[in-house]
Chain A
Amino acid sequence: MARPSPAGGKRARGEREPLRELKGKSEASHVPDLDKLIHERMRLAIVSALAATDTLGFNELKDLIGATDGNLSVHARKLEDAGYVVCAKRFEGRVPKTEFRLTSAGRRALERYVDHMEALIRAVRDR
Chain B
Amino acid sequence: MPVPIHAKAEDNLRFIRETMERAGSFTAVSGWGQVTIGGTALLAAWLAAAAGTSDRWLALWLGEAAVAVAIAMATTTWKTRDHKVPIVSGPARKFALSFVPPMVAGALLTLVLVSRGEFALLPGTWMVLYGAAVVSAGTFSVRIVPFMGACFMICGAVVLLLPQLGNIMMAVAFGGLHLAFGAAIARRHGG
Contact = CB atoms under 8 A, between A and B. Distances in A.
Interface of A: 21-22, 39, 41, 44-45, 48-57, 59-60, 64-65, 99, 110, 113-114, 116-118, 120-121, 123-125
16 contacts: A22-B5, A44-B19, A48-B20, A49-B19, A49-B20, A50-B23, A52-B85, A53-B27, A53-B190, A56-B27, A57-B143, A59-B143, A60-B143, A117-B9, A117-B12, A120-B5
Given A39-B12, A121-B6, 15 more contacts: A44-B15, A44-B16, A52-B21, A52-B24, A52-B83, A53-B24, A55-B189, A57-B142, A57-B143, A64-B23, A99-B188, A117-B12, A117-B13, A120-B9, A124-B5
B4 interface: yes
Interface in B6-51: 6, 9-10, 12-13, 15-16, 19-24, 26-27
Contact of A53 (B5, B9, B83, B143): B83
Contact of A60 (B19, B21, B83, B142): B142
Contacts of B26: 49, 53, 60, 64
A29 to B, nearest CB: 16
Interface secondary structure of A, over-half rule: helix
Nearest to A117: B9
Contacts of A60: 26, 142-143
A45 B22 CA distance: 11
A114 B27 contact: no
A41 B11 CA distance: 11
Interface residues of B, number: 26
A69 to B, nearest CB: 16
Interface secondary structure of B, over-half rule: helix
B165 to A, nearest CB: 29
A114 B157 CA distance: 50
Contacts of B21: 52
A51 B26 CA distance: 13
B37 to A, nearest CB: 21
B19 A48 contact: yes
A60 B5 CA distance: 32
A95 B13 CA distance: 37
Contacts of B190: 53-55
Interface string B165-191: 000000000000000000000001111
Contact of A51 (B5, B20, B188): B20
Contacts of A116: 9
B22 A41 contact: no
A54 B189 contact: yes
